[in-house]
């Protein structure tokens, strides 16, 4: 019996990467399929390279949850095409990619690969929950640095951080985080809160970059300790450092909740086992024929057969 190992895929991160990294390919009817093909190739490569017993394509049921926007209105605001009162806001996605997302869902379903999302939450939150208490080693495949907060050598949780494709990712463990940023993985969420992230609309603490954030965490342990030091005139903080945190008090009151991924969502973990054959081969072959996916589907089927 193979050793249990779970692969959690940040699906949108991977199909965006596939869309921009794989040359344009179209089905016979003109439908673009490069993201579909690229994602299937990624999954096959990952299954072959890491031999998981369990695999989940984690899904953004809501890419910009209202509860996060209520806390920080600028959260991902630059990506919004249309705000919607009763559903998730519409994200800016290239049209040739948008049309491929339903095809991706159909192909994954026919292949029998587990897809899990949670209404009102992002894929990051699904990943955080599934990685917590998984009962087996977990590899999270993502291009999102925010998930470095999940790295835990004791629990066997690491990040496979793609550099080019997914063939040679950085293996992010506690030693890697320490070498890269000078902090522990457990400090990463506080580090990211202070540094901010313009790609997510998080302003951070003005004037506090990677080096300053790491130095302060080394001195005071965590964000709570830094804020306590700001209020204590006897600490070693400079006048300008103290003022920067005073100026950011409103942001710091809410940002940790936005940055931290959920770890306790009520998710169904019963379907995560990776199948050794497609769930619906007839439908899978129909989709392969319709959307010019014969080769990547064959490679996926061969990878599953090795499970």
For residue 7, pLDDT over 80 is answered with yes
Asked if 62 and 121 count as a contact pair (C-beta separation under 8 A), the reply is: yes
d(CA 190, CA 59): 25
For residue 1, pLDDT over 90 is answered with no
pLDDT of residue 85: 74
d(CA 96, CA 244): 43
For residue 144, pLDDT over 80 is answered with yes
For residue 198, pLDDT over 80 is answered with yes
d(CA 151, CA 162): 16
Q: Which three-class secondary structure string do you get for the chain?
A: CCCCCEEEEEHHHHHHHHHHHCCCCECCCCCECHHHHHHHHHHHHHHHHHCCCEEEEECCCCCCCHHHHHHCCCCCHHHEEECCCCCCCEECCCHHHHCCHHHHHHHHHHHCCEEECCCCCCHHHHHHHHHCCCCCCEEEECCCHHHHHHCECCCCEEEEECCCCCCCCEEECHHHHHHHHCCCHHHHHHHHHHHCEHHHCECCCCCCCHHHHHHHHHHHCCHHHHHHHHHCCCCCCCHHHHHHHHHCHHHHHHHHHHHCCCCCCCCCCCCCECCCCCCCHHHHHHHHHHCCCHHHHHHHHHHHHCC
pLDDT of residue 257: 98
For residue 131, pLDDT over 80 is answered with yes
pLDDT of residue 166: 72
- Per-residue pLDDT band at 108 (split at 50, 70, 90): very high
d(CA 132, CA 138): 9
Asked if 64 and 88 count as a contact pair (C-beta separation under 8 A), the reply is: yes
d(CA 44, CA 57): 13
CATH T-level fold of 6-173+261-302: Rossmann fold (3.40.50)
For residue 167, pLDDT over 80 is answered with no
Query: How many C-beta atoms lie closer than 10 Å to residue 64's C-beta?
Result: 20
Segments of the chain assigned to CATH 1.10.150.20? 185-259
For residue 306, pLDDT over 90 is answered with no
What are 236-292's pLDDT values in tens digits? 999 999 999 999 999 999 999 999 999 999 999 999 999 999 999 999 999 999 999
CA distances from 180 to 174, 175, 191, 222 (A): 10, 9, 12, 18
Mean pLDDT lowest among 1-10, 136-145, 160-169, 232-241:
160-169
- Per-residue pLDDT band at 122 (split at 50, 70, 90): very high
pLDDT of residue 164: 75
d(CA 212, CA 218): 10
Asked if 52 and 160 count as a contact pair (C-beta separation under 8 A), the reply is: no
pLDDT of residue 75: 95
What are 67-105's pLDDT values in tens digits? 999 999 999 998 887 777 777 877 878 889 999 999 999
Architecture category of domain 185-259 in CATH: Orthogonal Bundle (1.10)
**Higher pLDDT among residues 86 and 131, named by residue:** 131
Segments of the chain assigned to CATH 3.40.50.1010? 6-173+261-302
- Mean model confidence pLDDT for the chain: 95
Average confidence (pLDDT) over 22-34: 95
d(CA 303, CA 307): 7
d(CA 195, CA 83): 27
| C-alpha angle 105-108-112 in degrees, rounded to nearest 5 | 135
pLDDT of residue 39: 97
CA torsion sign for 141, 259, 35, 53 is positive
């Amino acid at each position: 019996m193979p050793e249990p190992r779970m692969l959690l895929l940040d699906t949108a991160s991977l199909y965006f990467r596939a869309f921009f990294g794989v040359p344009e390919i179209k089905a016979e009817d003109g439908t673009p399929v490069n993201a579909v093909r690229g994602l299937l190739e990624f999954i096959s490569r990952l299954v072959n390279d890491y031999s998981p017993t369990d695999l989940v394509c984690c899904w953004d049921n809501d890419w910009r949850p209202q509860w996060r926007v209520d806390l920080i209105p600028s959260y991902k605001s630059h990506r919004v095409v249309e705000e919607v009162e009763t559903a998730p806001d519409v994200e800016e996605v290239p049209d040739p990619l948008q049309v491929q997302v339903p095809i991706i869902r159909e192909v994954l379903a026919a292949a029998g690969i587990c897809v899990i999302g949670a209404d009102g939450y992002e894929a990051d939150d699904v990943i955080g929950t599934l990685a917590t208490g998984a009962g087996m080693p977990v590899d999270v495949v993502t291009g999102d640095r925010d998930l470095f907060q999940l790295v835990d050598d004791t629990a066997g949780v690491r990040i496979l951080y793609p550099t080019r494709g997914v063939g040679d990712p950085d293996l992010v463990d506690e030693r890697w985080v320490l070498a890269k940023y000078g902090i522990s993985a457990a400090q990463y969420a506080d580090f990211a809160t202070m540094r901010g992230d313009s790609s997510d609309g998080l302003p951070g603490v003005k004037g506090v970059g990677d080096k300053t954030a790491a130095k302060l965490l080394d001195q005071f342990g965590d964000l709570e300790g830094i804020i306590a030091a700001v209020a204590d005139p006897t600490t070693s903080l400079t006048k300008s450092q103290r003022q920067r945190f005073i100026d950011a008090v409103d942001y710091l009151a809410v940002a940790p909740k936005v940055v931290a991924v959920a770890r306790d969502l009520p998710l169904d973990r019963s379907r995560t086992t990776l199948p050794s054959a497609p769930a619906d081969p007839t439908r899978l072959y129909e989709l392969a024929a319709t959307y010019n996916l014969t080769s990547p589907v064959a490679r996926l089927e061969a990878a599953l057969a090795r499970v």
